[in-house]
Structure 1
Amino acid sequence: MALATTSGTDTHTTPANDTTDAPAAPRAKRPPAAERVYAHVKQAVLHREYEGGTLLTEGELAEAVGVSRTPVREALLRLEVEGLIRLYPKKGALVLPVSAREITDVVETRLLVEQYAARKAVPAAPALIERLSELLERQREQAEAGDLAAVAVTDRCFHAEIVRGTGNEILSRLYDQLRDRQLRMGVAVMHAHPDRIAKTIAEHAEILRALRDGDADAAVEAVGRHVSWVRNLASGEVR
């Protein structure tokens, strides 16, 4: 017959709901190494911490993020597909500068997406109007604080909210890719033309007013003027 293994004072049974000695809840897992490298490089490129023409090496990136070189290669391949870098075997990754052609292509595609979204947004849902109002106020505060990078991010959020308002998830994903490129362009232009920030905020207010008034034609026209300014600056026509 099997004998019990309890002895002395160790004969009691711990209740099932006794959590006295239960292990602490596990901490949130860190993102995979390749994802951390991808996020690090992409943010640095979009915010111009890695300028166009900068050559990045696997060793430097591995040390900066605290990972091995294998996930660095994986992340760089993903960024090359997105058009932010170009890989050179045994040399590293070159951060691609923003070209006039890229600006033209991005602006043309944004106009197609955003003007369609502005028209479809009318009549605008109260939740959309409220969210755009919040973002506009946040952008004013960031501009007053001189935080140009934050202004550019909020600018991206403002436009993305209108596109998401279409309810078309495929269109929203496509737009997110465009806005990543536009973010880098926007930060560069804001540094070169800081006076443009006030105009950007005024144009956002104009778009919001047209949506609030339910004027689809005015909203489409305001979006068209606002989005086109980056292309005008690239061609030397500052407005």
Structure 2
Amino acid sequence: MSYASGTAAERVYDEVKELILTNALVGGELISEGDVAARCAVSRTPVREAFLRLETEGWMRLYPKRGALVVPIGEREARDVVGARTLLEEHAVRSIVDDPAARAVLVAQLEENLTAHRGADWADLAEFSRLDAQFHQLIVAAGDNPLLADFFVALGERHRRMTSASVHRDASIPERILTDHRALLTAIEAGDADAFASSLGAHLAGVHDLRTGIRR
């Protein structure tokens, strides 16, 4: 792939970040500027700029003359992301539980998402994790609080990376995600916020291997 000089650093940044989010570059892996420059058909200068940006955002840790370490997903990070997601999704569902019309709109959106998700190629982690994130974003958006919805979207990249890592860890995770999403949809359709909360906690803890539960 060849890049125009003016956008080389931006495009290298996008490509390497996508590799991190889809777990093609796993946490703990050390990569070099030279390898990435060759992969992207650019000089080392835009690669260095992209690496610096990725380090600033917390995706990498740079070691002079050695390369860049892809920062692993820490247990604290996983719990914090899941905890924030839990609060936002439960809040959204409780805000529409007494509004049949709003629930019906959300159920239709989630059914469409599940159909697409079920038909996706599970080997395409970028698409599978995107649809997974979209399912949960639809729930939060239904709460009709733009500030909370924007914050949830900001968690989307970490959400995608965690999902990709879970699928790499356990081949049964995609089927579990789809089964759990059906249970969440059913609880919303029934207007049962408590059942949704219980199913969501079990879903997130199981998919992301948080065996001791989720702090709330």
* TM-score scaled by length of structure 1: 0.73
1:59 to 16, 20, 34: 34
Give the Cα–Cα distance (whole angstroms) in 2 for the partners of residues 175 and 30 of structure 1: 34
Q: 2-side partners of 1:31 and 1:154: how far apart?
A: 32
Answer yes or no: is the 8 Å Cα contact 1:120–1:166 preserved in 2: yes
Indicate if the aligned counterparts of 1:106 and 1:178 stay in contact, CA closer than 8 A: yes
Distance change (3 Å), C-alpha of 1:166 and 1:67: farther
8 A contact 2:36–2:47 mirrored in 1: yes
Query: How far does the alpha carbon of each residue in 1:19-52 deviate from its partner, in whole angstroms, 9 at most, with x for none?
Result: xxxxxxxxxx999323211210111011121122
Letter in 2 for 1:113: L
Match of 1:100 in 2: 75
Q: Show structure 2 runs of 5+ residues with no match.
A: none
Give RMSD over aligned pairs: 2.8
State the alpha-carbon separation in 1 of the partners of residues 67 and 132 from structure 2.
32
Which residue is 2:22 aligned to? 47
**Mapped partners of 2:87, 2:6: distance in 1:** 35
The total of aligned residue pairs comes to 206
Output the amino acid matched with 1:53.
G
CA distance in structure 2 between the aligned counterparts of 1:39 and 1:80, rounded to whole angstroms:
13
**Partner Cα separation in structure 2 for residue 60 and residue 178 of structure 1:** 29
- Identity of aligned pairs, percent? 39
Distance 1:192 1:127, change over 3 A: same
Larger CA Rg, structure 1 vs 2: 1
CA contact under 8 A between 1:57 and 1:92: conserved in structure 2? yes
Deviation at 1:108, TM superposition (A): 1.7
Unaligned runs of 5+ in 1: 1-28
Secondary structure of 2:68's counterpart equals strand
Change (3 A) 1:77 1:176: farther
CA distance in 1, matches of 2:56, 2:93: 30
Alignment of 1:1-239 (within 5 A): 32-122=7-97, 123=99, 124=102, 126-142=104-120, 145-147=121-123, 149=125, 150-231=127-208, 233-235=209-211
The residue matched to 2:155 in structure 1 has which SS?
A: helix
Q: Which residue identity does 1:67 align to in structure 2?
A: V
Native 8 Å contact 1:121 1:162 kept in 2: no
State the SS of the aligned residue for 1:32: helix
Distance 1:46 1:214, change over 3 A: same
